[in-house]
Amino acid sequence: MIIDVLSIFPSFFSGPLNESLLGKAISQGLIRVRVHDIRKYARDKHRTVDDRPYGGGAGMVMKPEPIVEAIEDLQKESPRGTVILLSPQGEVFTQATARELSGLPRIILVCGRYEGIDARVLNFVDRELSIGDYVLSGGEPAALVVIDAVSRLIPGVVGNLASVRSESFEEGLLEYPQYTRPRIFRGLPVPDVLISGNHEAVKRWRRSQALLLTKLRRPDLFERLKLSDEDLELLRE
Ligand code: SAM
């Protein structure tokens, strides 16, 4: 998969893209991330990418020309790529969106700054994504969130595919609690069932914990679940 990023702060990405799972996925060629400086597409000698808003008001707005020309330049390559604008006004990015994007050959992520981007740019964008109901100073942290969540769904990026499948939101549930050594920490023991060696009991316990946690903390997710007879039984226990 190819991920192109358009930003006026390309150096924002240099650290995170070289670290841990993402860094490894990139160095192994499982994903290709290319960060492009929007300023390169500015026409004037000062490389201006913003201007005052029509109608007045605070702050500056990103000009349409450099962004659209950058998108068009990138789309000369094949595959053309799905253009995604990071924006607080977009549809909310979820695990389902991440899974959907992970199946695409190429995405182009556009990061806004200042008060946002000239609205006409939306005519050149396939979709707008928000990472949540809060306002960031720029689209760069949001792009990193998308890159991270999408990459871990690409085969080979996370060593154990089963661990990705059981993670929070994958089945519409929060994940069950996890424990590691020591068996007792500051008087707090690991649940007996996890050291019982009974795989079926562990499976049932994990499913019931995931169901209970989701019911308690995310009733919105719980309401949408299609519960099996076994799930209903676990919830009654
Ligand atoms: N004036 C805009 C508003 O009130 O909706 C906010 C602009 S914000 C300061 C600058 C840029 O940060 C946006 O163009 C967008 O690219 C990015 N951004 C901010 N919050 C975001 C969010 N929740 N999800 C995705 N991108 C976001």
**Domain parsing of the chain, residue ranges:** 2-151, 166-236
Nearest of 148, 125, 144, 149 to residue 62 by alpha carbon: 125
Query: Could you tell me if the CB of 116 is within 6 A of ligand 1?
Result: yes
Predicted pLDDT of residue 154 = 96
Q: Which uninterrupted H or E stretch holds 188?
A: strand 188-189
CA 180 to chain centre: 27
Residue stretches of the annotated binding site: 112, 131-136
Query: Could you tell me if the CB of 142 is within 6 A of ligand 1?
Result: yes
Query: 2-151: what CATH class?
Result: alpha beta
Predicted pLDDT of residue 70 = 98
Predicted pLDDT of residue 165 = 80
Q: Is the dihedral of CA 60, 61, 65, 67 positive or negative?
A: positive
* CA of 110, closest atom in ligand 1: 16
**Rounded distance between C-alpha atoms, residue 40 and residue 33, angstroms:** 18
Predicted pLDDT of residue 74 = 98
Q: Which uninterrupted H or E stretch holds 208?
A: helix 199-217
The upper half-sphere exposure of residue 105, i.e. CA atoms within 13 Å in the direction of its Cβ, equals 6
Task: Check if the beta carbon of residue 65 is closer than 8 Å to that of residue 43.
Answer: yes
Predicted pLDDT of residue 159 = 86
Structure ipTM: 0.99
Query: Could you tell me if the CB of 219 is within 6 A of ligand 1?
Result: no
- Ranges of residues in the chain with a pLDDT under 50 are none
Q: Which uninterrupted H or E stretch holds 222?
A: helix 219-224
Query: Could you tell me if the CB of 146 is within 6 A of ligand 1?
Result: no
Predicted pLDDT of residue 168 = 85
| Residue having the nearest C-alpha atom to atom 21 of ligand 1 | 88
| Residue having the nearest C-alpha atom to atom 5 of ligand 1 | 88
Task: Check if the beta carbon of residue 170 is closer than 8 Å to that of residue 225.
Answer: no
Cα dihedral value 184, 186, 188, 194, nearest 10? -30
Intrachain domains 2-151 and 166-236 with the same fold: no
Q: Which uninterrupted H or E stretch holds 148?
A: helix 139-151
Query: Could you tell me if the CB of 63 is within 6 A of ligand 1?
Result: no
Predicted pLDDT of residue 108 = 98
* CA of 138, closest atom in ligand 1: 12
**Rounded distance between C-alpha atoms, residue 168 and residue 158, angstroms:** 15
What CATH topology corresponds to 166-236? Trp Operon Repressor; Chain A (1.10.1270)
- Classify strands 106-110 and 2-7 as parallel, antiparallel or unpaired: parallel
